[in-house]
Structure 1
Amino acid sequence: MNINTQEQFELILDSSIESQEFIRLTLGKYRGGEDGLTKIIVRIVQFKSSIKLSFTYGYKTKEIVKNYPIEEGVDLIKTLIGSDFMSIRLFSIKQDVQLEYGKSQNPKINFIKPTFTNPVDTNPQEHDHRKKRYIESQNNVYLRALGITNSQGNVVKTMEDKFRQINKFVEIIHGLLESSGLAGKSHISVVDMGSGKGYLTFAIYDFLNNILDKEASVIGIESRIHLVDFCNSVAQSVNFERLHFNQGNISNYSAEKSDITIALHACDTATDDAIYKGIQSDSSLIILAPCCHKQVRKQIHPNMVLKDLLKSGILLERQSEIVTDGLRALLLELSGYKTKVFEFISAEHTSKNIMIVGIKSNHSINKEQIIGQIKDIKKLYGINFHYLETLLFPDFFLSPDLADLINAELVSDRPIIPI
């Protein structure tokens, strides 16, 4: 073992704590004998009478926190390096330092631009009095590159709504991880379909990797090559090594296994394509913010009970949105997902504020009952077909004489409107 390399890392660790540049340290690639342990995250915490190192032991199904005096905690870290944990990353306001042990046990050290450049807040009580944000604006290089903040780290006035959207979205993701069973996973894969300029794609990568300390890989799918090139260049400049953007349409994307599928403001039936790809990918979470509802809207011919109620165009428009998204939720349930439909941000900031979430579940479902509900809704509104059912369950809902109608109504080029 190259002792000099490990000693170099240990000296940098000591110096970062002494100079108050230390932010946190993660220990991964566990090779010890304790069942279920996957990683340890070390932070500095201020108590009433002392400062300590707080160790969060991450197991597959739980977390345990232990606090140690600074000197004792540092000694413990040094005993774990290279023996129980093969990947160690130090975050400081000066630089990030990565120490990796290969199969030969020879460590390699890499120096990386700092992920965080503000001193750590060691007082949790004082911190709780401030407004909690998952993604901070100060010293956030990717937010600046995306035009959300200026060179002083302040949110640009015209981007304040976007910044709120980003933080609300990440807050929702945080809450959904637990209910989906993904909270205990150390490796998470995400596909963002219709990623646009990448505002939320960068934020979810940052949150999963740098705040939750997971090894998350994120792919953005976008049809416009200039946005793909732009986002890839930003990802490289901020050292987001597992964030990549690929050119393509949602309907043509080759669905691979992914833990989370996202489609935010994919226009009309592109949302349905994203749902279908998420189910094909066996995603634990499918997260959608639909935009435009043309496919069902063009078909609605309500029966006499509803005809007078929906004679106003604005009411028919809003009803078509409800029907479209309600059927999407039912079709997700038929595919083995528990569903939630809610406002993810105030309509004051965007009118496209409905979010549909599918959480993969093993609970038993009454398929005949759900199929009956879908057919009854279609009959009530005079709908021939919902595009998503043509992808998922054509034999359940479609008769052969609808084939020509479907081909005539569906268009192959569906624009994508990113959030």
Structure 2
Amino acid sequence: MKKEFKVLVVGSGGREHAICKSLLQSQGVEKVYCAPGNVGMKADGIEVVDIPELDFDNLKHFVKKNSIAWTFVGPEDALVAGIVNSFKEENLKIFGPDAIAAQLEGSKDTALQFMQTYHVPTAKFASYSTVKDALLGLQQFDLPVVIKADGLAAGKGVTIAQNKKQAEMVIRELFTGDQSKVVLEEFLDGPEYSLFVVVNSKNYRILPVAQDHKRAYDLDKGPNTGGMGAYSPVPQLAKNDYQLMLRDVVEPSIKGLREAKLNYCGILYIGLILTSKGPKVIEYNVRLGDPETQVVLPRLKNDFAELISACVNNEELPKISISEKACLGVVVAAEGYPQNPIKGQKLPDFSTSEGIEVDYANVNGDLAALKGNGGRLLTVLSKGKTIEEAQRNVYGYLKEKAFENCFYRKDIGRRATKRAY
């Protein structure tokens, strides 16, 4: 097949690096641009474009000037800010939900109201617009209680308060910021899973299931983060439990999108917990997850660009074909993440060895001398016949590297393998 079209990916992190790599492997894709991207992407032949992800006018100008077939939006902030609406006003093809549909991630309250309306199982919840009401509402919830900032918080706007004093302090802190609404939820106990659904108005397809590790430190200690590592498949998830997720969560979620007449051409990410009473949704996201994308896309046998093209052009989506191989990724983060990450540390040479890939995120400098730029710096990943093999490969590789002012969890995949490093 002739390489005949060019695509643009919006974003700059490890997720976008993984998306770009998958698109580059397509038979039909001639060139992949990423705006703003990061310098580490250049190692894989991705063309980095210096346009911020919220600069819609310059992004559209670039798309028209370079005859881009379609644009794939990675991060949630651009979607919530209405990049899809902006592009469609000028008849430019784009992969992602519009601003109204993106409120499923942009507002926790909107998402929970949607779940309630369309009978998607979730936690008991209530939303409050003042400190006084939230503190009073706290009496209606058992401890521990989950407290969420209503708006976008890059995966870090959730606190599980263990006692009343902590809960009151978190509520007061949230309202002293720019939050106009805070959501309280009952705490759900059980393993957490990530499901990604590619959706257009014709049909939907489910990508491989993954599990990520949100807490900063080993054994799920420390603060919530955007994610410290992930793996796929999830061998401990029983087939009948997975079927329940499809029947009780995915089907009513998609039905709800249709009935609400939401303009949805993109990814619906469903974060769920398998409780003793069945699967319950803890959040919707309106884009691929990070770091789950890094381990999900390598398991796709499909031509990823063909799948996205079909979605963007509102055609019937091809059936998903998944590799039997497992994939595991470990995030290397800057010391101090997520509260006060250190910047500017020299990174070791990550020239990939056989069976190892690196997806870059917050790095700068040049390819020969990369430096950390705060937060999650990169993801090291490997495929294997089993999760154990992929886990061994990644940690064996990381052990050989000397890090300065960085850290990573030593137990990614522990729930599947019972092993840590």
- With the shorter chain as reference, the TM-score category is under 0.3
Per the normalisation by structure 2, the TM-score is 0.27
Larger radius of gyration: 1
Higher RCO (C-alpha 8 Å, min separation 6): 2
